[in-house]
Structure 1
Amino acid sequence: TRHPLQPPYPHPYRFLLNEPHKCRDRTPFLVLLVVTEPGDTVGRNVIRQTWGNESSVPGVSILRLFLVGVHPVFGPALRSVLEEESLLHHDIIQQDFFDTYNNLTLKTLMGMEWVSKHCPNASYVMKADRDVFLNLGYLVRRFLTKPKKNFMTGYVYRNTGPLRSKAYKWYVPREIYPNNTYPPYCGGPGYVLSADLAPKIYGVAQILPVINMEDSFVGICLHALGVGVTGSPWGVFNMYRIEYEKCRFSRLVMVHHFQPQELLKIWPHFQEAKVMCHR
C-alpha cells in the first residue's frame, strides 16, 4: 500500500495541455522547464518578460515551458483560464495530477517525459522554480560551451538525509524512504542537465519507489543509473537569497527567493550588466 505522502507513480497521467510539436521545426539548445501553480498567471507573465524570455540569450535557441498540475480545489474553475493562456502563449504543459507540494516530483517527471517524447534532440534541460532569479546567458557561456552527456549540475547536496519529523514541510517517513542518507543531488530551485538524461531519469522512475522530495528523487534516479552529479563553483547556484547587485548577479546562474514582482523592478537594470560589468 502507498503512503499518503507518496506521489502515485507510475500512473498513466494524461496531458490536459500539451505542446507536442514545439521541436518539430527546431532543435532547442536549452529546454527551460519552469514549475508554477495553475493560478499563477501573473508570475508566468513576469517570467516570460524576464529570465524566461526565449530570446534572452542572443544566438541560443531556448524553449520555455511551464509545468502545472490540476488545482486540488479550483481545478474546474481554472480550466478555461489556463486554456486561454495556453492558446495565447503555447508554453504550458499540464497533466491530470493534483498540483500539491508533495506532488512536485510528478511535475519534474512530466517535464522529463515531455523532453523524452517530444524534444529528444535538445542539448540541455534546465528545471527552475518560479521564485528564482536566473541568468541563462552566464549559464550558457560558463557551463554549457561543449556538448555533454550524463551531465547534471546545480547546488550539490551531499551526505544529507530525510527529515523524519512531521513538523517539517520536507518530512519523509521511513515507509517512503528507509535509508538514512540520500545520494548526492542538485537543489530543486534550479539545476541543469544534459538532455540525454531526461529519458533515462523518466525511464528509471518507472521502476523506483517515488518519494515526495523532488530534488532528492532525481538524485536517487541518477544513483540508480550510475551517473554522478557535477559540482558547481561556490556561489554560482544560490539556495538562499542574496541582495541584488548588478555586476555580482552577472556572474551567477541562480538566486533563490526572488518573487516575480521584484524581478520586474531589477530586470531592466540587470540588462545593462552585459555592457557595464567585466565578464
Structure 2
Amino acid sequence: MRGQLILKVLLGSAFMGLLVLLIAQQQDFSTPSMDLYPSSQKAPTEDPLGLSSRKFEWQARTPHPLDLRYPYPYPFLINHPDKCEGPRGAPFLLMLVMTKPQDVGIRQVIRQTWGNETLVPGVVIHRLFVVGLPQPLFAQELQTLLEEEDKEYRDLLQVGFLDTYHNLTLKVLTALEWMAQYCPTAHYVLKVDTDVFLNPSYLVQQVLQPNRPLQSNLITGYIYRNPVPFRKQGQKWYMPPELYSHDKYPDYCAGPGYVMSGSLALRILTVAQRVKAIYLEDVFVGLCLKELGVKLTPASPNTFLIDKKKYDHCAFHRLVLVHHFQPQELLQIWPDFLTANTSC
C-alpha cells in the first residue's frame, strides 16, 4: 500500500514538474509579476475567480520586480471561515503550510504524515495549505484540480495573487490576515514549508507545553544572527540596495519553519501595515519584530535544523524540524518514526 502511494507521488511529481517546465518556458523572467491586479484597479469583491477576463492579468508590473504591494486587499478565493469553529474550542496550534498550486501529491503526503491534525492526543491542531494563483499556462486545469482537492479535504486557503517565490511574503501576510479574521484566538501559529520533516509532538509537548501559561511574545526556530544582505545580482536571496539599504538584517528565524504565539502573530500583522514589505519573508518578519521591540526566543540546540540530516529514529524524536526532506523520504521513514520510542 505504501509502495503504491510512493509511486503515485513520484508520478504526480513528474507530471507537475513537466507542467512547471512548460510554464517556465513561457514566462518572461526579466520582469516577474508580483500581483494580480494593476494599480489602477481595485481587487474585485465578487466573482474573484470569474470568470472575468482580468482573472490572470499576471503581466501587471510593479515599480521594481521585487517590490511588493502591501497592504492591499487580496481576496480569499478558496476559504474556510469556519475552520477554527467547533466544540473543541480555539486551536492550540494553527499550521499554515506554504505550498504551490501544483503540489497536489506533496500535500497528500503531508496530510498522511506530520500534517495529520490528530497526531498529538488531547491537543487541537488545525492545518491550512496556503496557495496563490496558478501560472497562466494550464491555469484553468490547475485551478480545477485545486477546487476538487479542496472539496475532498477542505484544507486549502487560496489568495488572489500569482504564486511565485517572490510573493512568499504576501502569502504569509495574507495567511495571518485570515488568522486575524477567522482564528484570532489560536494559541500558537506555525509557519512551515513543504520540504521539511516536522515532529509535531516534540513541538507541542516540549517547546510549546500546553500545560503551562501561554508565552505571549514567543517566536522561535533556527535563528540567523547578524545576517547580511546578498548584494550580487543572480543570487537566490539577492536584495537590491534601493529596497533595503542597511548593511545588516535584524536577527530572524529561518523560513522553512518557525512558531510564534497567536497574540504576537496579530501584532506582527499590525506592524506589517507600515513596515516596507520585502520579498524575503523570514527577513521581513525579523524587521517587524525589530519594529515591535520583540526578541527572538532561542530554541534548544539542534531542534530546528536547516541543513539536511540523515534519518535516525532516536535523534528525530528529539527535534522539531529538518529542512530538505522530500515527500518520498517522508513516506519511507514515517512508519518507523511512529513506532514506540522504547529503545532511545
Deviations 1:213-245 (A, max 9, x none): 010001101111111111112210000100000
Q: State the one-letter code of the partner of 1:29.
A: F
Q: Give the match for residue 79 of structure 2.
A: 18
Counterpart CA distance in 2 for 1:7 and 1:54 is 33
Q: State the one-letter code of the partner of 2:99.
A: T
Q: State the one-letter code of the partner of 2:178.
A: W
Deviations 1:51-88 (A, max 9, x none): 00001111111100001011222333211111111111
Counterpart CA distance in 2 for 1:85 and 1:163 is 38
Counterpart CA distance in 2 for 1:212 and 1:75 is 23
2:161 matched to 1:94? no
Q: Give the match for residue 37 of structure 2.
A: none
Q: Give the match for residue 2 of structure 1.
A: 63
Paired residue secondary structure (1:276): coil
Q: Give the match for residue 69 of structure 1.
A: 132
Q: Check 1:180–1:277 CA distance in 2 against 1; reply closer, same or farther (3 A cut).
A: farther
The 5-angstrom pairing of residues 16-95 of structure 1 reads 16-25=77-86, 26-73=89-136, 74-95=138-159
Deviations 1:183-228 (A, max 9, x none): 1110000100001112211111111110010100011011111111
Bigger drift between 6-15 and 68-77 goes to 68-77
Q: Give the match for residue 309 of structure 2.
A: 242
Counterpart CA distance in 2 for 1:115 and 1:166 is 35
Rg larger for: 2
Paired residue secondary structure (1:69): strand
The 5-angstrom pairing of residues 60-209 of structure 1 reads 60-73=123-136, 74-145=138-209, 146=212, 147-209=214-276
Q: State the one-letter code of the partner of 1:154.
A: G
Instruction: Note the C-alpha offset of 1:11.
Output: 1.3
Counterpart CA distance in 1 for 2:228 and 2:259 is 22
Instruction: Note the C-alpha offset of 1:268.
Output: 0.6
Of structures 1 and 2, the one with the larger relative CO (CA 8 A, separation 6+) is: 1
Q: State the one-letter code of the partner of 1:258.
A: F
Q: State the one-letter code of the partner of 2:120.
A: V
Counterpart CA distance in 2 for 1:75 and 1:191 is 31
Query: What is the percentage of aligned positions where both structures have the same residue?
Result: 51
Q: State the one-letter code of the partner of 2:68.
A: P
Counterpart CA distance in 1 for 2:225 and 2:336 is 36
CA contact (8 A) 1:123 1:195 kept: yes
Runs of 4+ in 1 over 4 A off after TM superposition: none
Q: So what's the TM-score if we normalise by structure 1?
A: 0.96
CA contact (8 A) 1:250 1:277 kept: no
Counterpart CA distance in 1 for 2:99 and 2:169 is 13
Unmatched runs of 5 consecutive residues or more in structure 2: 1-61
Q: So what's the TM-score if we normalise by structure 2?
A: 0.79
Count of residue pairs the alignment pairs up: 277
CA contact (8 A) 1:21 1:118 kept: yes
Q: State the one-letter code of the partner of 1:59.
A: G
Which of 204, 216, 221 aligns to 2:288? It is 221
Instruction: Note the C-alpha offset of 1:277.
Output: 4.5
Paired residue secondary structure (1:244): coil
Counterpart CA distance in 2 for 1:46 and 1:170 is 28
CA contact (8 A) 1:3 1:175 kept: no
2:334 matched to 1:264? no
